[in-house]
């Protein structure tokens, strides 16, 4: 099991607009390919212009397969184009996590 932990930072004052854009054009298609996230939430303390989502995969091959299928989906490409045009995002950080041996989540 691996977890794909992603943090995105929006320009100040645009996180609500970005979340609306994603809710309207990205959420359904991303879940179609990746399943339900473990976590998807806005940061409430610290950098409040950011949000985090964490996805669970069987292994790196499962992650690569699912993300490749999503990347090739025309609806996902349309969402990415809308997101790029809006220009709300300024930074992204991805981390792959492996669970501790005692964690069975």
The CATH number of residue 28's host domain is 3.30.70.100
Q: In which domain, by residue range, is 38 found?
A: 2-97
In a domain, residue 48? The reply is yes
Q: What is the DSSP letter of 1?
A: -
Split into its structural domains, the chain has a count of 1
Long-range CB pairs of 17-25 (<8 Å, 24+ gap) are 17/86, 17/88, 18/83, 18/86, 18/88, 18/89, 19/51, 21/82, 21/83, 21/86, 21/88, 22/79, 22/83, 25/78, 25/79, 25/82
Q: What pLDDT was estimated at residue 103?
A: 86
- Residue 17 has a pLDDT of 97
Whose CA is closest to 35, among 11, 82, 69? 69
Read off the pLDDT band of 105 (50, 70, 90). Answer: low
pTM for the structure as a whole: 0.90
């Amino acid at each position: 099991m691996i977890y794909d932990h992603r943090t995105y930072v929006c320009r100040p004052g645009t996180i609500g607009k970005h979340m609306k854009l994603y809710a309207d054009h990205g959420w359904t298609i991303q879940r179609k390919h990746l399943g339900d996230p473990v976590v998807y939430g806005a940061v409430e303390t610290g950098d409040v212009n950011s949000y985090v989502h964490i996805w669970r995969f069987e292994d790196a091959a499962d992650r690569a397969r699912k993300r490749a299928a999503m990347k090739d989906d025309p609806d996902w490409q349309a969402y990415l184009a809308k997101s790029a045009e809006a220009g709300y995002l300024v930074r992204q950080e991805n981390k792959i996590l492996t669970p501790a041996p005692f964690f069975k989540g």
